[in-house]
Copies of this chain bind each other. A is one copy, B any other.
């Protein structure tokens, strides 16, 4: 049935549409542990007009459309679980405008964050949102992504100023103007940020930029206890210091970072910190945090001020997720993503650790703790049913405890597929409004069907 529609699409798009087996396979999965599913075809959009033609024809024929960026989703967002078209946006990777005086840039949705920062390098500007993966900005917007710098610069929620979107019926709209604030109507930008490709296809993103600080100083501090590390985070935030990054790694995560990047860190709960500002201001911030750390059993700061040392440090932090082989050959990380009010952070992390200590599987805890956001990664061999079941049991405990602490079941990875079942537990009757929104914007249900806008 779909094939007739695809033939029509192929006539319209020519070689931009592929049904090659390897291409379809590449678009059948992402970085999550969700089972793959093949699309019927892949469209490589090169222009907004390609997107319009694809979506309009899919709308006409009732064919699913699943936008695909870098494929770095952690929750199955881009898996076309009902087939249809995987709409690859990576060829739409032009940087359309940079406005240095306004601190914004307008880019096509396929531009990645590293590509943008490379482009900005000589302009004294940076795009700060850093989820680790070199994700596309369209994908980051759709996931409401964040990462290590959100504590200072916010998430995609705060950093997307406006979008161009192709609606499910194939119309091009803009969701806002290139201004710092506006009170002219419902906030369509914020509706599409975090919508996970279920309401339309983002084709352009206008993002906020930041001046590159005069001084960037990174430090590592190890602690005698996990509580000491986490209390230092809470007290740092309470003192109003605009720390640029404050990341927590437990002992197992330190092992992973050491093994992966040969960092030689002490096997203790550890904070990775970064300060941005003028020389004097960075000195003042770091002195305050150092004394807070010392009061909580922290060792002296180990500084990395050279660019290459800082790069190595943050690379190690980001790649802890890939560094499992050294911890347990053949294992994979079953990743979670929770966020609690900062005051509940010590209790939340200690409880997660206690669950791990009481289990026959092990795991690591890392977190963007300045936001109350952390990830417990269970190190399992998923082909062993008992291990997978245990990870799922622990994750269920973690998510329920998080929600009981006024927390959220995703700080930054999004809902995707398997966490749809938590939507009603967290949002209650508000889920009905989400469904109403989905039906209003996408009445034929062609945009990334079976994901957000539904329940699991």
Interface residues of A (CB under 8 A from B): 99-104, 143-146, 150, 155, 157-158, 167, 171-188, 190-191, 193-195, 199, 210-211, 213, 234, 237-240, 278, 280-281, 284, 337, 339-343, 371-373, 403, 406-415, 419, 422-423, 426-434, 436-441, 452-453
Contact = CB atoms under 8 A, between A and B. Distances in A.
B437 A186 contact: yes
6 A-B pairs with least C-beta separation: A440-B440, A190-B190, A101-B343, A182-B408, A211-B240, A173-B430
B341 A178 contact: yes
Nearest to A169: B432
Nearest to A199: B186
A414 B183 contact: yes
A289 to B, nearest CB: 14
Given A102-B343, A190-B191, 20 more contacts: A101-B341, A144-B183, A150-B181, A173-B427, A174-B427, A177-B406, A179-B339, A179-B371, A179-B406, A181-B408, A183-B411, A184-B426, A186-B195, A186-B199, A186-B433, A187-B191, A187-B193, A187-B194, A188-B427, A280-B281
Contacts of A439: 440
A210 B240 contact: yes
Contacts of A341: 99, 101-102, 104, 178-179
13 contacts: A99-B341, A150-B181, A176-B408, A177-B407, A179-B372, A181-B411, A183-B408, A184-B409, A184-B422, A188-B433, A191-B191, A278-B284, A280-B280
Contacts of A144: 181-183, 187
Contacts of A195: 186
For A103, A104, A184, A422, the residue with the greatest tally of chain B CB atoms inside 10 Å of its CB is A184
A423 to B, nearest CB: 6
A408 B429 CA distance: 34
A104 B372 CA distance: 14
A339 B434 contact: no
Given A195-B186, A439-B440, A433 B167 contact: yes
Contacts of A213: 240
Contacts of A434: 185-186, 188
A415 B186 CA distance: 10
A342 B102 contact: yes
A371 B178 CA distance: 11
A249 B156 CA distance: 34
Contacts of A180: 150, 339, 342, 371-373
Nearest to A443: B436
A141 to B, nearest CB: 11
B433 A99 contact: no
Nearest to A171: B429
B194 A186 contact: yes
B186 A191 contact: yes
